[in-house]
């Protein structure tokens, strides 16, 4: 099956610093990538949808200036948490979706990145 | 707002027993999917059922879909300790475009 990787898998940073998380589709081209956030014992909440080469679409309540998304290529999307604060500590999961050979119905999820802001 | 709502929120059973989880949703869907998530890990896709299907099987998993009741169920037969995880349903709703809306999940504990 399709593989989506995330890097890093775990990051601890100081309050006020920025953290970049990468999401890569390893064996397919992803026209659309999604970023989710998951707080402990809660479900995944969609943060934003990004299409290659265009600006991301953010869900209501998600600050676009705080969570910068760059979908630079068909295999890479990055999420930068700017000026991170302890309340940004969460599990961030990306997913990638494509059309064609692998179909359009199944999103392939990355393993997630656990961010802890001290 | 969340589309899917799983119940129960938590389920504890003995190894070998069957586990049934339910998911209800609110709007018309293209398909519904079930995912598993082990603690602190990413999601694993289990099964997809389309809106024109009523039942689907995959190994020890059986999923049903009742579009008239806007509900789905996931049955895990002969459960194992390794099945301990959180299970989410996600709907590919007609009006939500290309992303899935996840329910809050059911935390399943299978006791040895």
pLDDT (tens digit, 9 = 90+) per residue, A74-87? 899 999 999 999 99
Q: Are B89 and B74 in contact (CB under 8 A)?
A: yes
E strands, A1-118, in order = 4-7, 10-13, 19-25, 32-38, 44-51, 57-58, 67-73, 76-81, 90-97, 108-109, 113-117
Residue A1: the pLDDT is: 59
Residue A6's closest chain B neighbor by CA? B42
Tokens 């961010």 belong to residue: A115
Q: Region A92-102: what's the mean pLDDT?
A: 75
Option in B31, B97, B102 nearest A43 (CB): B102
Residue A29: the pLDDT is: 85
**Coil, strand or helix at A110:** coil
Whether A108 and B45 lie within 8 Å, measured CB to CB: yes
Pairing, β B106-111 against β B10-14:
parallel
For an interface test with A, give the residue of B92, B98, B104 to mutate (most A CBs within 10 A): B98
Residue B95: the pLDDT is: 63
Q: Is the pLDDT of residue A88 over 70?
A: yes
pLDDT band for position A103 (cuts 50, 70, 90): very low
The low-confidence residues of chain B, meaning pLDDT below 70, are 1-4, 94-99
């Amino acid at each position: 099956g399709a593989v989506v990787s995330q890097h890093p898998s775990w990051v601890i940073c100081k309050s006020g610093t920025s953290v970049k998380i990468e999401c890569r589709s390893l064996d397919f081209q992803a026209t659309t990538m999604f970023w989710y956030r998951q707080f402990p014992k809660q479900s995944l909440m969609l943060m934003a949808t990004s299409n290659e080469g265009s600006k991301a679409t953010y869900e209501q309540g998600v600050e676009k200036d705080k969570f910068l998304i760059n979908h630079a290529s068909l295999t890479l999307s990055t999420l930068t948490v700017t000026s991170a604060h302890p309340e940004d500590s969460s599990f961030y999961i990306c997913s990638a979706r494509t059309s064609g050979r692998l179909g359009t119905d199944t999103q392939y999820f990355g393993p997630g990145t656990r961010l802890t802001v001290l | 707002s969340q589309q899917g709502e799983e119940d129960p929120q938590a389920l504890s059973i003995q190894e070998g027993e069957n586990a049934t989880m339910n998911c209800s949703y609110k709007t018309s869907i293209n398909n519904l999917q079930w995912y598993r998530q082990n603690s602190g890990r990413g999601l694993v896709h289990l099964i997809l059922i389309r809106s024109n299907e009523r039942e689907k099987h995959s190994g020890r998993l059986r999923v049903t879909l009742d579009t008239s009741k806007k509900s789905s169920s996931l049955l895990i037969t002969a459960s194992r300790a390794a099945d301990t995880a959180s299970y989410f349903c996600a709907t590919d709703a007609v009006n939500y475009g290309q992303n899935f809306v996840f329910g809050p999940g059911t935390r399943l504990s299978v006791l040895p």
